[in-house]
Amino acid sequence: MSLTDILSPSDIAAALRDCQAPDSFSPKKFFQISGMSKKSSSQLKEIFRILDNDQSGFIEEDELKYFLQRFECGARVLTTSETKTFLAAADHDGDGKIGAEGIELFKC
């Protein structure tokens, strides 16, 4: 399964366009534009599984900086500031990594 099986390619493209400039990435806005915020819990867990590059069950800081590239190969890398802000917003237990439940925080 790929992200485009769950999310519209045009919504993904719009979300990536919105955060092209360094330090313009907002997780909540990205989730809204891409359509992720409207997905069911099971769909979000599948998206998380796809984004969890090493399949550890967590998205660690090293994986998170490449978050946008999981949506499109040529997308930019998140800046250190964006990565730390994203991690802080979704790491509800402070262990330095995001579990599948962390992605639910951006659901509207």
29 is in an annotated binding site: no
How many domains in the chain? 1
| Structural domain span for residue 63 | 3-105
58 is in an annotated binding site: yes
5 is in an annotated binding site: no
3-state secondary structure of 99: strand
52 is in an annotated binding site: yes
In sign, the C-alpha dihedral spanning 31, 36, 37, 42 is: negative
Do 92 and 101 contact (CB within 8 A), yes or no? Answer: yes
62 is in an annotated binding site: no
18 is in an annotated binding site: no
Report field, pTM of the whole predicted structure over 0.85: yes
CATH of the domain at 101: 1.10.238.10
Look at residue 79 in the predicted model and tell me its pLDDT.
97
Task: Give 35-51 pLDDT, tens digit per residue.
Answer: 999 999 899 999 999 99
Our separate counts of H helices and E strands in the chain read 5, 2
Residue 63 has pLDDT above 80, yes or no: yes
**DSSP E strands, the chain:** 58-60, 97-99
63 is in an annotated binding site: yes
Look at residue 100 in the predicted model and tell me its pLDDT.
80
Task: Give 64-102 pLDDT, tens digit per residue.
Answer: 999 999 999 999 999 999 999 999 988 888 899 998 877
Which amino acid is residue 107, in one-letter code?
K
Q: Identify the CA nearest to 106 among candidates 7, 22, 39, 60.
A: 39
Residue 108 has pLDDT above 60, yes or no: no
